[in-house]
Structures are given as C-alpha cells and as structure tokens.
Structure 1
Amino acid sequence: MPFALSPAAIWPVVMLLASNIFMTFAWYGHLKHKGTAIWLAIVVSWGIAFFEYCLAVPANRIGSSVYSTAQLKTMQEVITLVVFSGFSVFWLKESLTINHAIGFALIALGASFVFRA
C-alpha cells in the first residue's frame, strides 16, 4: 500500500467527494431548469459553490500532509468523473454509453500512475 489509511488520508477523499457533489450541482444542476432566468441560475450556483469551497479548501489543506499536490488534483478529477456520472444518470436522466465508460476508465488508468511508488 503506497500510503497508510489514517484519518489524514481518508478525510480529504470524503471531503473532496462531498465538495464535488456540491460543485456538480452548482455547475450542471440548473440544466434541469432551463426555464429559470440565467441570473437566478448564476446566483443559486454561486451559493451552492460556496459550500464546495468550504469543503475543498480544507480537504486540500489536510490532504497535503499525506498526498502530493499532483495526487490531490488527480484524486479530485477521478472523483469528479464518478460524481458527474451518477449526477448525469440520476439527476439529468441522461444515459452513459460504453464510450463514456471506456473514456472514464482510461482516465482512471492514467490517474493510477500518479499514485505508483
């Protein structure tokens, strides 16, 4: 195992997962409500994004004691793809294709190299 599964290793992952849920809703949640005025979508998105920052900033601070910056960024990108996939299917009712799965898997494979010793 390349790192110990201490609270300092786990909490950043949990916090980045939660922050990505907020950010995905901030960036894409309004697409389900296209009839809403754009200014309102922006204001609501900013409000949601505030909570994303409240989680992402401390996640990176805590995580920097265990992970490199490159590892934190890579982790965040993979978490984003996982969260976005679920969001796309369950919130936007869009289907994911085999091409999406292959593309995401290749990104995850590439990300795994960042964590190799």
Structure 2
Amino acid sequence: MASNPILFTTLLLLLSNVFMTFAWYAHLKELGTKPLIIAIVVSWGIAFFEYCLQVPANRLGNTVLTVGQLKMLQEVLSLAVFVPFSIYYLKEPLKLDYLWAALCLLGAVFFVFRSKFA
C-alpha cells in the first residue's frame, strides 16, 4: 500500500478523522454531565492518536500533493466521517444541508485537483 502514496495518505487521513471526530464531539454525549476539564483531558487523549496518523499522512501526502490538495482531501474526509457519526452516534437528524455542503466540497475538489489531472 505504501507504493501508492495518495491511497495510503487517504487511509491515514480517514482514520485520523475518526479519532478527531470522537475527540471533538463524543464528549457531548458521553461526558455531558462531567466537569469540562474531564472532557478536555479525555479529548486530548483521543486527539493524540489523531496526530499520530495526521502528521505522517501529511508528510507522505506532501510528496505527491500540494498542501492545498492535502487540505481539501482532509475536508472531504472530515465531512464523510462527520455525517455518519452525527447521525448514528449522536442521533442527529440527516439534513439536506449535508448534501449541499458535499456538493460545494465537490466543486472545491474539482478546482483544487484539476491541474493535477489536466
């Protein structure tokens, strides 16, 4: 898999987004009645693993992608992780706005990556 840096970068970014989404939002459900400092410390602990994946992903990805392309990939994966998380874990309703946001991101992906595939 390391022979395909874009695929490996995408996988690392996807996994890092899972950790970061839990670090940022799981405390709302799991630790909602606990003191804020507990939520912060738990979130930092989870975020450590996100950084263990994010930093190598960006280093590897930067060998074949621009920083702008890496950031756009990160944002697309972030939404791809956040929407199912919010629906299934936080029990938030699915909103049409998620579709519109995804379409806007697809437009952004087109513009950021079009020179790579021209």
Q: Same fold (TM over 0.5)?
A: yes
1:18-57 deviations in whole A, cap 9, x for unaligned?
0000000000010113112211110000000000000000
CA-based RMSD of the aligned residues comes to 1.1
Q: What are the within-5 Å matches in structure 2 for residues 15-94 of structure 1?
A: 15-33=12-30, 34-94=32-92
Q: List runs of 5+ in structure 1 lacking aligned partners.
A: 1-5
> Which residue identity lines up with residue 57 of structure 1 in the other structure?
V
TM-score (norm 2): 0.90
Kept after mapping to 1: 8 A contact 2:19/2:46: yes
Which structure 2 residue ranges, 5 or more long, are not aligned?
none
Q: What is the identity percentage for the equivalent residue pairs of Structure 1 and Structure 2?
A: 50
CA distance in 2, matches of 1:108, 1:29: 27
CA distance in structure 1 between the partners assigned to 2:5 and 2:50 by the alignment: 19
Higher RCO (CA < 8 A, seq sep 6+): 1
Structure 1 stretches of at least 4 aligned residues deviating more than 6 Å after TM superposition: none
